[in-house]
Amino acid sequence: MPAKSDKSPSPLSERAQILLRKLVEMHISEAQPVSSRALARETGLDLSPATIRNIMADLEEMGLISAPHTSAGRIPTSRGYRLFVDALLTVQPLDQRSVRDLEGELGQVTDPQQALGKASSLLSNITHLAGLVTIPRRTAVLLRQIEFVPLGENRVLVILVTTDGQVQNRVVNMDRRFAPSELTEAANYFNATYGGQAVRDVRRTLLEDLERDSREMNQLMATARQIARQLFTEDDGEDLMVSGEDNLFDVPELCDLAKLRGLFDAFKAKQDLLQLLDRSMRANHVHIFIGDESGYSVLQDCSVVTAPYKVDGQVIGTLGVIGPTRMSYDRVIPLVDVTARLLGSALKRESS
């Protein structure tokens, strides 16, 4: 006979597992507390509601399920959901057709920024939840090429191409007008000196170089310096892209305005969500935050399913979806997993 209510890590009888699993599945599909009778009817086991009740009482004692009130059925707790996704859930892999579709969608993008946006909107459209994608730090990538284009007045357009295929441009103001030849020369100097370095390092090296060579500075360097000052000062940090927030309007758990509002504020502030997603950077595969596990109160009734995406084996960001804890993990998990891999491939292709 299996130890019944030993302590938290009690092995949970097979019957209890089947029951818990069915209960979670029913709660996911019905969005309501599950009663012993319904469970007795739906599960294959030939047991009476009374027996089910006994087992449910055990599960409740273990903190895996709870009753909103005395005369209601049970709903899974966060810990119940945790056990479910860790041990009870069987995810069927995404069918080839869907993978092909995703691949097609992500394949025809032309630049990384667009790829990230596409990934996010795909996630939200398919799951009907909100899609999340972190935009990798610009500073981590390598500088491939820099170009200067003279605009009117004293303004110069600086184009930064990084090895990930991203293009970035800024307009900088100079103290005098520069001839195209001067700018070409400066660009050549820049490319020769700093090409291939990490953007993050360029900034540091640049400052050192400027310091050291300040006496023997020639016209060329002065130009480069003036541009560089304005170029690398602002450190555009990691950023977050959210799409399909509107889908959350339909989630019954978030029916009250305050909760929904909290989420939208979080999307706007981004800070907390970024930190959460950063945590999954270290993980190698899909990572799931269930309910209050995240530590943020606005995510009370929400779960976040994330996966890091990588280029050349190097993790550079994470993506995922956010939705009610009561979501279809079996569909969401493989989708997030595959999307992360496909996004990685798409980005690699971009960086040619």
- Say what angle helices 112-127 and 329-350 make with each other, to 10 degrees: 170
Using CB under 7 A as the binding rule, whether residue 171 contacts DNA is answered as no
147 binds, among DNA, a second copy, none (CB under 5 to 8 A by kind): a second copy
Among 14-22, 50-58, 164-172, 330-338, the segment contacting a second copy (CB under 8 A):
164-172
d(CA 40, CA 56): 11
CB-nearer residue toward a second copy: 145 or 193: 145
Strands across the sheet with 314-324, in order? 239-243, 130-135, 314-324, 302-311, 287-290
CB-nearer residue toward DNA: 57 or 140: 57
260 binds, among a second copy, DNA, none (CB under 5 to 8 A by kind): a second copy
137 binds, among DNA, a second copy, none (CB under 5 to 8 A by kind): none
Using CB under 8 A as the binding rule, whether residue 175 contacts a second copy is answered as no
Using CB under 7 A as the binding rule, whether residue 10 contacts DNA is answered as no
Using CB under 7 A as the binding rule, whether residue 70 contacts DNA is answered as yes
Among 27-35, 256-264, 307-315, 321-329, the segment contacting DNA (CB under 7 A):
27-35
Q: Output the 3-class SS for the chain.
A: CCCCCCCCCCCCCHHHHHHHHHHHHHHHHHCCCECHHHHHHHCCCCCCHHHHHHHHHHHHHCCCEECCCCCCCEEECHHHHHHHHHHHCCCCCCCHHHHHHHHHHHHCCCCHHHHHHHHHHHHHHHHCCEEEEEECCHHHCEEEEEEEEECCCCEEEEEEEECCCCEEEEEEECCCCCCHHHHHHHHHHHHHHHCCCEHHHHHHHHHHHHHHCCCCCCHHHHHHHHHHHHHCCCCCCCEEEEECHHHHHHCHHHCCHHHHHHHHHHHHHCHHHHHHHHHCCCCCCCEEEEHHHHCCHHHCCEEEEEEEEEECCEEEEEEEEEEECCCCHHHHHHHHHHHHHHHHHHHHHHCC
Site for a second copy (CB under 8 A): which residue of 46, 153, 216, 312?
153
Site for DNA (CB under 7 A): which residue of 50, 171, 217, 220?
50
**Of 81-110, which residues contact a second copy (CB under 8 A)?**
110
d(CA 340, CA 280): 12
**Of 72-91, which residues contact DNA (CB under 7 A)?**
72-74
Using CB under 7 A as the binding rule, whether residue 47 contacts DNA is answered as yes
Among 4-12, 56-64, 152-160, 192-200, the segment contacting a second copy (CB under 8 A):
152-160
Using CB under 8 A as the binding rule, whether residue 265 contacts a second copy is answered as yes
Q: How far is the CB of 252 from DNA (least distance, A)?
A: 12
Using CB under 8 A as the binding rule, whether residue 257 contacts a second copy is answered as yes
Tell me, by CB under 8 A, how many residues bind a second copy. 28
CB-nearer residue toward DNA: 51 or 121: 51
CB-nearer residue toward DNA: 61 or 246: 61
What are the residues binding DNA (CB under 7 A)? 1, 33-38, 46-51, 53-54, 56-57, 60, 67-74
What are the residues binding a second copy (CB under 8 A)? 110-111, 145, 147, 149, 151-153, 155, 157, 159, 161, 165, 167, 169-171, 245-246, 249, 255, 257, 260-261, 264-265, 268, 352
